[in-house]
Structure 1
Amino acid sequence: MELAVPLCLLLLAVAAQPQSSGYRGHFFSRWMRPNRNVNHLGIIRRTRVNNVPGFRTSYLRHGGYRPYYSGQERYQVRLVGGANSRQGNVEVLVNDWRRFLRGWRSVCDIGWTQAHAVAVCKQLGFPGAATPTSNGRFGYRGTGVGTSVSHCQVGQHGLRACFHQGLGNTGECSVNNLAGVICGADTSTPFNGPISVRLRGGSLQGDVQVKYERTGWGPVCGDGFGLKEATVVCRQLGFDAAVRSYLSGRDAGGPFILGEVECKSTEKNLGSCRSRRGRSVRCPGNRYSGAAVQCSNRDRSPLPDLVIDAAELQSSAVVEGQPMGSLTCAMDENCLSSSAYKIREREPATYKTRIRKLFRFTNKVQNRGKADYRPRRDPSAWQWHSCHKHYHSEESFSEYDLVRPGTNTKVAQGHKASFCLEDSECTRGITPKYRCRPSMRGNRFPQGIRAGCADIYGSYIDCQWIDVTDVPSGTYDLRVRVNADRVVPESDFSNNQVLCRVELDVRREKISVTNCRNTPL
């Protein structure tokens, strides 16, 4: 009896420690396969806020640190900056963690899809066709003083569960990463001929000017002009790639003659991109809102080039069942489909015994470029993850989707994986430069992928999967992307995606993955 009390206290102390189920950089080596039968516990306190009619807001607080915003079940939305009520940048009305309305916030365009646009337009009373826009196409006027929401989900009543963590925390999103919509068809069109381009103010960097038909040289509106459009301009001028696009800040010197430019980045000439043209095109900003670019010369300004190892992905694929009790950290990362969270809410006492079917695979990302791949976000904005004891420098480095063959129709909820970037292996003669290591909160070690090295996310690591629990067995396409939103410039985006054919049998936990190949984004 004397030994029983100390023994019980010891067991309780061990159980109270936050643990990891295979996250990179925890105290155990990331290459050691974790015991998936362990019930991983975390110190989590949950509160509910129900202070506004029509809103239900959840917040999580990890280990006594600052609370972060987990999701709002329903938002009021509005459009700003458009020429009419059917178009504009999207803003949502959010609550803060102190139970007050914080106000209108812009929406980040990273991961912004047509499904989001359709949901917003439907909520605003414009059902039917909808077109998503990005890069602040309707101006960079923001009401949130540097804040935005991101990673919004599509719900029955519109946008829901957007991520938000207070003033100034926008993740990879900068002031020009503003999402918008056009409720209806986009009336911009490609030009029926070539458009000449030049840079005003420099050879590698300057304001974009164009000339077409009988017009003279004129400026281009910079609202909505992003890295894809800059890539087309730079390659048309004979450079390797674009380093960045930005608003000029200089007087355009005349009316804009090209606006609402939208490219895929694979076009050979700006005339092949969608745009609006005329002697005076509407620009939501002002005469200082002209498009400007900085181009890359391979010798003078080298860039990274990320490539997914298709063979490694194909050979590592597996489907397995795992109890929800071992997926605590993964659930906090939103790595499971929505049905898992409904089960947790509906069955709080028994949900940990429920099984999720996970389609796992290894994602090996090589940097074959001439420069290191470095996170865009400033280290002060990196996200601390208490489960695996390190910072994530990228919130959506990789995207995993299971779609119907030959279409863009998702059959499983898309998953955007956040990562701590490091050099897992390097070619002979190159020393690893970046390492993810266990650390105390506040210690931000450098992250990235060195040129000539690769970052490997093993199939056993948490969130390195697609939750296929609710997916019918059948034939699908697997689509894996890295840096899909082009938040970091690269010399080549034609190899940032892998497509595979998948034969899936969920009930028997069998899978066949074939024909994996690299394709353009």
Structure 2
Amino acid sequence: MCKDLSENERNIRAVFIQKILNKQKHFEGRIKLVGGSDKFEGNVYIHHAGRWGAVCDDSWDNAAAKVVCRTFNKTGEATHGSQYGEAIEKFWMDDVVCEGTETSISNCIFSGWGTSDCESSEAAGVICHNKVVPEVIDAESRYIHEVIDASSTSLRLAGGRNNLEGRVEIYYNNTWGSICPDGWTLYEASAVCHHLALGHAVQAPQSDFFGGSKIVLSGVECQGNETNLFTCKHRALGDVVCPGEKGVICTNHLADLQLDTKAIEMSAHLKDSTLYELQCAMEENCLSKSAYEIQKTNPNWQFETRRLLRFTASSLNIGNDDFRPYLPKHLWQWHLCHKHYHSMEVFATFDVLDSDGQRVAEGHKASFCLEDNECRPGIEKKYSCANYGDQGVSVNCSDIYRYYLDCQWVDVTDVEPGDYSFKVAVNPHARIAEQSYHNNAASCSLRLTDTYAVVYGCSLGRP
């Protein structure tokens, strides 16, 4: 039975609850490493909403490990595949993409709290240490063909279920050996598939699924358009911890998005809008930080205006397979403002850069839906965002985000007039495999004045 509480009892309970809330807030974003030989290595767990959760190893790399290890005033390396034991808590984070300069991995790009399709065997981990690179012999990147004799060296895939997949092995010094899994991405996997004339890379697994062998090469860095792996660069490392193997899965059928530079140049313009008009966009964090500070401090914030650089981004699939989101349908997020589901957290990025290449403004678009907006003659549209439909971009169809749509802009309210660089990139972190990544980004010149903006001289390249 319930009983009436005295004012004093209510105050005691309120203080008790507040202490609990304060404690949870104090632990928010805390990191701990579990399963390692000491507190500086292990699977990564982060505290959020009052409980600990694991981090999935999808997209997990050394940049993210660097952010985690900075917590302990160290640098570090990424581990994959639950190297320190299977995840013992739910996954809080997935598809984490860091630049390496963030103060916390919660400031990195990720799929959203609790949004994950990962198994317990996919926990991300780190090995933190004091040195920038353990036992460095040659810290300078060098081309592989400068270090080994390519004429007497071979490449193969081993341990796969067919000839299109396996761990990557190099024949060197009369023995076959593997490549250390540090920073292995679809860019490096693409170079391997091109080298072996096996088409294009559809996956770049970083696990021992395909077995293991002695490590003979480490620190491979490719651009993704190489036809020969030996024209990639690498760092000659010494006694490096290599927690797994590099693998490749190749295919002859893959999507290929090509960004339309002319659409960007012809549509770019400035538009002043009140915050009252942008309330839905504010929910998606589409404005710069100062807008949210105004919202907190100014009771009449709705009447304040923001200056937006609006533009159209059109991506045509010129490949030979559909471009599909990597998240399964049950993990798509419903957006009440837009009345449809979004299938990707990061499909495109928009950056304004100064003459030193420093970002002075960026698009903060929270998530995206993919659909066939326009198709070439004779091609029927297949994908639509409406009514919980399947999402993607068909071959010879374009996904178009037009300039008048919410968040299809960069908030330049706080940017001084002058000359800048403007970069738009789709599939910026190569989360979805494509035939080529060198037509995914448009790098342009931007002239910003008090009254107008001009975007010109756009050229295609890699994000």
- Normalised to the residue count of structure 2, the TM-score between the two structures is 0.79
Give runs of aligned pairs for residues 402-481 of structure 1, distance below 5 A. 402-405=352-355, 407-416=356-365, 418-437=367-386, 439=387, 444-481=388-425
Distance 1:221 1:155 in 2: 24
Question: Shift of the alpha carbon at 1:392?
Answer: 0.5
1:103 counterpart SS class: strand
Distance 1:249 1:270 in 2: 22
1:312 counterpart SS class: helix
| Residue 282 of structure 2 is aligned to residue 334 of structure 1 | no
1:228 counterpart SS class: helix
Taking a change above 3 Å as real, the CA distance of residues 174 and 389 of structure 1, as seen in their structure-2 partners, is: farther
CA contact (8 A) 1:153 1:161 kept: no
Taking a change above 3 Å as real, the CA distance of residues 481 and 174 of structure 1, as seen in their structure-2 partners, is: farther
Match of 1:229 among 188, 199, 209: 188
Deviation per CA, 1:433-476, whole angstroms, max 9, x where unpaired? 11222x3xxxx311111101101111010010111111111111
1:314 counterpart SS class: helix
Aligned match of 2:73:
125
Question: Shift of the alpha carbon at 1:219?
Answer: 2.7
Distance 2:226 2:34 in 1: 30
Distance 2:410 2:120 in 1: 29
Match of 1:170 among 106, 109, 116: 116
Question: Shift of the alpha carbon at 1:258?
Answer: 3.2
Query: How many pairs are equivalent?
Result: 427
Distance 1:265 1:365 in 2: 19
Aligned match of 1:51:
21
Distance 1:474 1:138 in 2: 49
Which amino acid counterpart does residue 371 of structure 1 have in structure 2?
Answer: D
| Residue 47 of structure 2 is aligned to residue 94 of structure 1 | yes
Aligned match of 1:263:
222
Aligned match of 2:338:
388
CA contact (8 A) 2:363 2:407 kept: no
Taking a change above 3 Å as real, the CA distance of residues 427 and 197 of structure 1, as seen in their structure-2 partners, is: same
Match of 2:251 among 296, 303, 307: 296
| Residue 438 of structure 2 is aligned to residue 484 of structure 1 | no
Give runs of aligned pairs for residues 308-327 of structure 1, distance below 5 A. 308-327=259-278
Taking a change above 3 Å as real, the CA distance of residues 217 and 367 of structure 1, as seen in their structure-2 partners, is: same
Match of 2:155 among 193, 197, 207: 197
Aligned match of 1:354:
304
Deviation per CA, 1:40-59, whole angstroms, max 9, x where unpaired? xxxxxxxx9982459379xx
Aligned match of 1:273:
233
Deviation per CA, 1:215-262, whole angstroms, max 9, x where unpaired? 51023344643322211111111233111122342442x433334544
Match of 2:199 among 236, 240, 248: 240
Distance 2:341 2:457 in 1: 35
Q: Which moved more, 1:191-200 or 1:364-373?
A: 191-200
Aligned match of 1:343:
294
Distance 1:140 1:436 in 2: 40
Deviation per CA, 1:133-159, whole angstroms, max 9, x where unpaired? 778499586564444165789999655
2:190 counterpart SS class: helix
Question: Where in structure 1 are there 5+ consecutive unaligned residues?
Answer: 1-47, 58-71
Distance 2:246 2:193 in 1: 13
1:456 counterpart SS class: strand
Taking a change above 3 Å as real, the CA distance of residues 487 and 49 of structure 1, as seen in their structure-2 partners, is: farther
Match of 2:93 among 145, 148, 158: 148
Question: Shift of the alpha carbon at 1:273?
Answer: 3.2
Distance 2:256 2:295 in 1: 41
Deviation per CA, 1:40-96, whole angstroms, max 9, x where unpaired? xxxxxxxx9982459379xxxxxxxxxxxxxx6xx333567999988x788463222
CA contact (8 A) 2:194 2:226 kept: no
Question: Shift of the alpha carbon at 1:197?
Answer: 1.4
Deviation per CA, 1:161-184, whole angstroms, max 9, x where unpaired? 5667554x2389997695868876
Aligned match of 1:76:
30
Question: Shift of the alpha carbon at 1:490?
Answer: 0.8
Question: Shift of the alpha carbon at 1:409?
Answer: 1.3
CA contact (8 A) 1:134 1:178 kept: yes
Taking a change above 3 Å as real, the CA distance of residues 172 and 325 of structure 1, as seen in their structure-2 partners, is: farther
Distance 2:23 2:453 in 1: 46
Match of 2:169 among 192, 206, 209: 209
Taking a change above 3 Å as real, the CA distance of residues 54 and 103 of structure 1, as seen in their structure-2 partners, is: closer
CA contact (8 A) 2:192 2:229 kept: yes
Distance 2:422 2:118 in 1: 25
Distance 2:102 2:32 in 1: 17
2:410 counterpart SS class: strand
Taking a change above 3 Å as real, the CA distance of residues 379 and 174 of structure 1, as seen in their structure-2 partners, is: farther
Distance 1:513 1:290 in 2: 44
Distance 1:185 1:207 in 2: 27
Distance 1:359 1:49 in 2: 45
Taking a change above 3 Å as real, the CA distance of residues 518 and 388 of structure 1, as seen in their structure-2 partners, is: same
- Normalised to the residue count of structure 1, the TM-score between the two structures is 0.71
Relative to total residues, which structure has the larger helix share, 1 or 2?
Answer: 2
CA contact (8 A) 1:206 1:294 kept: yes
Distance 1:344 1:467 in 2: 15
Distance 1:498 1:172 in 2: 33
Taking a change above 3 Å as real, the CA distance of residues 502 and 108 of structure 1, as seen in their structure-2 partners, is: farther
Which amino acid counterpart does residue 21 of structure 2 have in structure 1?
Answer: N
| Residue 462 of structure 2 is aligned to residue 520 of structure 1 | yes
1:331 counterpart SS class: helix
Taking a change above 3 Å as real, the CA distance of residues 177 and 339 of structure 1, as seen in their structure-2 partners, is: farther
Which amino acid counterpart does residue 425 of structure 2 have in structure 1?
Answer: R
Distance 2:167 2:101 in 1: 41
Distance 1:466 1:184 in 2: 39
Question: Where in structure 2 are there 5+ consecutive unaligned residues?
Answer: 1-17
The CA RMSD over aligned residues, in Å, is 3.8
Distance 2:343 2:113 in 1: 18
Aligned match of 2:444:
500
Which amino acid counterpart does residue 225 of structure 1 have in structure 2?
Answer: W
1:358 counterpart SS class: strand
CA contact (8 A) 1:220 1:291 kept: yes
Deviation per CA, 1:177-216, whole angstroms, max 9, x where unpaired? 958688764456544234631012432222221123x251
